Amino acid sequence: MKTLLSIDELKTLIENSLAPSVSLYMPMQKAGTEIRQNPIRFKNLVREAEERLQAMEISSTEIEDLMQPVRELDQTEFWENQDDGLAIFISPRVFRYYRLPIECQELVVVGNQFHFKPLLHLINSDRHFYLLALSQKDIKFFEATRSELHEVEVENMPNSVDEALMYDETAKEGQFRIATSKGSNTNPFTRSQPGAFHGQGSPDKDQPQEVILQYFHAVDAALHEKLHDETAPLILAGVEYLHPIYREANTYPHLQEQAITKRPELFQADELHAQAWEIVEPLFHQPEQKAIDLYQQLAGERTGTTSSDIKEIISAAYYQRVDSLIVPLGQQIWSTFDPDTLAVDLHPEQQPEDGDLLDLAAIHTLLNGGTVYAVEPEKMPNDEPIAAIFRY
């Protein structure tokens, strides 16, 4: 089981789709007595998929062989290891299933290719970010996505003030020595030469801040080596007075203004993760909003580079004309599509061998290098059923 598929893996699945392709989506109950309903609803979805396969006049033997790996999932261990949603993909040469960190609409799609639209919103918003939990006695660095948070070791990064600073017991009170980074004779991010004394003659209240600042210079120097080519957001967590001191030492250009102001040791990992996600989630939706704004601008100017006509868009997506596509989550336009003639036959309800044209447009846009944004229906520009920006 995978926790989440990437855009590259999605493209691989698209390219390996082979009829009949079965896509199952299921919201999961994670606690309470309702959790007992998960296996029952799962069996109902499998039964519905088999009925759809029968309607496509696929033999009982083929159906049995195709669906056997899915039936084998129905074990106690499988149900004990779930998240908010579940997605399963089955075809003659593919069997994959994924835990989803979001609830999804219960859905069965059987056709010539897999149905991915419910996952596009998740994939677009599940980019990685960094979290730096600060205190004078401990420091932790994490890499995270919407669904995962894990600690990462950073070479040469001090774990505490005591590790970063070598105190000279023979020095006068108020003096301290700045340590060099491990394995290095110099620290390019400190403002003074390593080994120099600081704090002598300064008021006592200034000394702790100066000590912490030099400590954070050492932390920043280590992070610079790790993140110098990165553009992912970095979130700070720690007591409030540490934040401005770290920002003075910081050289990473993607450190976010908003931070978590609490002692990191008081957080459970999932609480820390949840608060960090609240900060970065709006950042990940900015490209989506820019695409919506651009569509509305171009549509208003009548440039001819936008469309909300599904038949025009499906042809344009197939022939690599779509640069950006905006589709609504939880909605489908059922149809058959002939790629040879580009003929589209729309149906009010799903028929055997029907696919979702919204999903098909999204798939071909992705395969041809375009960008797809799956949004809540109320966010669709001008209340359109679909919206495309063409390359030409």
DSSP string covering 267-312: S-HHHHHHHHHHHHHHHHTHHHHHHHHHHHHHHHHT-SSEE--HHH
pLDDT for 169 equals: 37
d(CA 131, CA 151): 9
pTM of the model: 0.71
Other residues' Cβ atoms within 10 Å of the Cβ of residue 197: 14
Domains plus CATH for the chain? 7-115 (3.30.960.10), 129-284 (3.30.420), 286-390 (3.30.1330.30)
According to DSSP, the residues that pair with 198 across neighbouring strands are 176
Cβ-contact 121, 374 below 8 angstroms = yes
Question: Tokens 């059922």 label which residue?
Answer: 334
291-316 residue pLDDT tens = 999 999 999 998 999 999 999 999 99
Say whether pLDDT at 1 is over 60: no
Whether 236 and 134 have beta carbons less than 8 Å apart is answered as yes
- Amino acid, res. 151: E
Higher pLDDT, 245 or 176: 245
- Distance of alpha carbon 253 from its chain centroid, rounded? 21
- Please give the DSSP secondary-structure letter assigned to residue 6: -
In single-letter form, the type of residue at position 340 comes to D
Please answer whether residues 194 and 156 qualify as being in contact, where contact means their C-beta atoms are separated by less than 8 angstroms: no
CA contacts within 13 A on the Cβ side of 336: 8
Buried b (16+ CB within 10 A) or exposed e, 37-58: ebeeebeebbeebbebbeeeeb
Dihedral (CA of 291, 295, 301, 302) sign:
positive
Cα-trace Rg, the chain: 27
Cα(337)–Cα(353) distance, rounded to whole angstroms?
Answer: 10
Q: φ, ψ for residue 152 (rounded to 5)?
A: -125, 130
Q: What are the residues whose beta carbons fall under 8 Å from the beta carbon of 80, sequence distance 6 or more?
A: none
CA pair distance 330, 117, nearest whole angstrom = 9
pLDDT tens digits along 113-123: 899 998 887 77
Single-letter code of the amino acid located at 131: L
pLDDT value at residue 163? 85
From CA 277, how far away is CA 178, in angstroms rounded? 35
Q: What is the DSSP letter of 84?
A: S
- Give the separation between CA 382 and CA 308, rounded to whole angstroms: 10
Res. 79: pLDDT tops 50? yes
Q: Which pLDDT value is given to residue 177? A: 47
Q: Give backbone dihedrals phi and psi of 324, rounded to 5 degrees, phi first.
A: -135, 135
Checking if the pLDDT of 225 tops 80, the result is yes
pLDDT for res 199: 35
- Helix, strand and coil content of the chain, in percent to the nearest 5, comes to 40, 20, 40
